[in-house]
Amino acid sequence: MMVKEELKKLGIRYTDLDLGMVEILEEMTVKQRERLKANLLKSGLELLDDKKSILIEKIKNVIVEMVHYSDESPKINHSEYISNKLGYDYTYLANIFSEVKGITIQQFIIINKIERVKELMLYDELNLTEISYKLNYSSVAYLSNQFKRITGLSPSFYKQLKGKRSGNLENI
């Protein structure tokens, strides 16, 4: 909505606006581009106009969608899934991602999976076995080890912290 409003204010005609991507009908002037960039920044949004940044955002969006908003992890490996979704060779995507973000795509996936594990533990009341199955881990032990490596806490200790926080809120 915010982007639509800004485009309208600046008289920029567009055909398609979807998930942070907009297709404009004509070239923007330098002045229009600078005003759009400044106005979006005030709202906490960023205008990405270099191809690498746009591709990185697409990779991140595919991973977030795959980990956080899909009912099941894909049955094919992550590299094939990402490559198929974006229509680029995975090695090319991985090299650009690592160059720009300073971490690998696999590390980014793991970070997102652990965030998803935390969400599921806190809100869905699934046990660790169900969570490991849902997120396509080979075993609960592997999930637990990865969780501890990323967070510094065991899943059971993390869940205990959640219980203490809930208890404190109930006492208020």
What is the mean predicted confidence (pLDDT) over 37-48?
Answer: 76
Are 62 and 82 a contacting pair, CB within 8 Å? yes
CA angle 93/95/45 to nearest 5° reads 65
- Looking at residues 5-21, what average pLDDT do you find? 74
C-alpha 130, offset from chain centre: 22
- CB atoms near residue 161 (< 10 Å): 11
Range 70-98 burial, b when 16+ CB lie within 10 A, else e: eeebeeeebbebbbebbebebeebbebbe
Mean pLDDT, to the nearest integer, of 130-142?
91
Are the C-beta atoms of 10 and 32 separated by less than 8 Å? yes
Looking at every residue in the chain, the average pLDDT score rounds to: 83
Number of H helices, E strands in the chain: 9, 2
Please determine, for residue 149, whether its predicted confidence score (pLDDT) is greater than 70: yes
| Inter-residue contact 129 to 144 (CB < 8 Å) | no
Residues in the chain: 172
Q: Residue 169: pLDDT above 70?
A: no
- 87 pLDDT higher than 70: yes
Going along the chain from its start, the domains and CATH numbers come out as 2-47 (no CATH), 53-170 (1.10.10.60)
Instruction: Identify the band that residue 168 occupies on the pLDDT scale cut at 50, 70 and 90.
Output: very low
Look at 26-35, 46-55, 74-83 and tell me which has the smallest mean pLDDT.
46-55
Looking at per-residue pLDDT, the higher value among 41 and 55 belongs to 55
The residue type found at 153 is L
